[in-house]
Amino acid sequence: MIQRTGWGANDGTWILWFNAPADYNRTKANAYYAMGCNSPTGPCGDGAGAPHGSTHKPGLYICGGNGDFDIVIPAGGPPVVLCTQADQTLSSEQLDLWGTNGVNIGSTHLAGLTNVESPSAYYDTTHATWIMTYSDPNCGYCTGSGTTATNPLGT
């Protein structure tokens, strides 16, 4: 869930993104939806009514697959969706001022990875660097996953 605050329309609307893999399997359209919500706890979607209830199938150019995803919001900038493609590679795509459609700006085959899932990222203010996390190999609950560490201060 993201909130349009400090970027784009800047109207405070909460947007719930979710993955519906059957869409991709059935139509080869991206597997994502974005719902406008009346608060961070809902209600969301068309049935939520005014002021923000809506359901939208995003138009995406780069993140058009059916994999895991996360949305990060750079300080003062538009949100970016990080996505796992159908071929298990990672991509990124900038979202529009509404936070509900892609704008065809981003990258594919991030880090040259070919068998990953569960992307996410955060901004490390101390080092002025974005840190991406993901599961490598594509097995989010396996021992030895690329996202495990013995303590949060480790390498």
Indicate whether 148 pLDDT > 90. Answer: no
Asked whether residue 14 carries a pLDDT value surpassing 50, the answer given is yes
Q: Is the pLDDT of residue 110 over 80?
A: yes
Residue 144 has pLDDT above 60, yes or no: no
Give the confidence band of 152 by pLDDT, cuts at 50, 70, 90. Answer: very low
Q: What is the pLDDT of residues 19-67, one digit of tens each?
A: 998 888 888 889 999 999 999 999 999 999 999 999 999 999 999 888 8
Question: Which residue pairs from 30-36 have beta carbons closer than 8 angstroms and sit at least 24 positions apart in sequence?
Answer: 30/57, 30/58, 30/60, 30/63, 30/64, 30/65, 30/66, 31/65, 31/66, 31/67, 32/57, 32/58, 32/60, 32/63, 32/69, 32/81, 33/57, 33/58, 34/58, 34/99, 34/100
Task: Band the pLDDT of 133: cuts 50, 70, 90.
Answer: confident
Residue 146 has pLDDT above 80, yes or no: no
pLDDT for position 48: 96
Domain boundaries defined on the chain: 2-135
**Confidence (pLDDT) at 131:** 82
What pLDDT is attached to residue 32?
Answer: 95
Going by pLDDT thresholds of 50, 70 and 90, the confidence category of residue 142 is low
